[in-house]
Amino acid sequence: LVKGYPPNSPYIGSSPTLCHLLPQKAPFCCLRFDKACTHNSSEDAKAYGFKNKLIIVSAEMAGNGLYNFIVPLRAYYRPRKELNPIVLLLDNQ
């Protein structure tokens, strides 16, 4: 993980928050749990072997509220050991 600013801000004029980010953006196919892809053979959350407890969020679609929920969970001041994986259950891609 690296410290940086999220690539997309939901509001014009909002100040970005320094967060823990992946060094490179993950391909969309790798972010899905419903099927394996060419980059990753895991087909469910258990197969990933996460060390920390999961945070599971269910929403109709990803919006500003979801952004405001996730950014503090990835804030730079949180220790890396305490970062929990976040699983989004979305109705719309």
Tokens describing residue 72: 């503090």
Of the listed ranges 10-14, 52-56, 80-84, the one predicted with least confidence: 10-14
User: Residues 39-53: what's their mean pLDDT?
Assistant: 79
Phi-psi region of 51 (alpha: psi -120 to 50; beta: other; left: phi over 0): alpha
Report d(CA 30, CA 33) in Å as an integer.
8
* pLDDT confidence tier of residue 78, bands split at 50, 70 and 90: very high
Report d(CA 30, CA 24) in Å as an integer.
13
Q: Give the pLDDT confidence score for residue 83 in this predicted structure.
A: 92
Tokens describing residue 92: 């719309």
User: Residues 38-50: what's their mean pLDDT?
Assistant: 77
Q: At CB < 8 A and 24+ separation, what contacts does 30-35 make?
A: 33/87
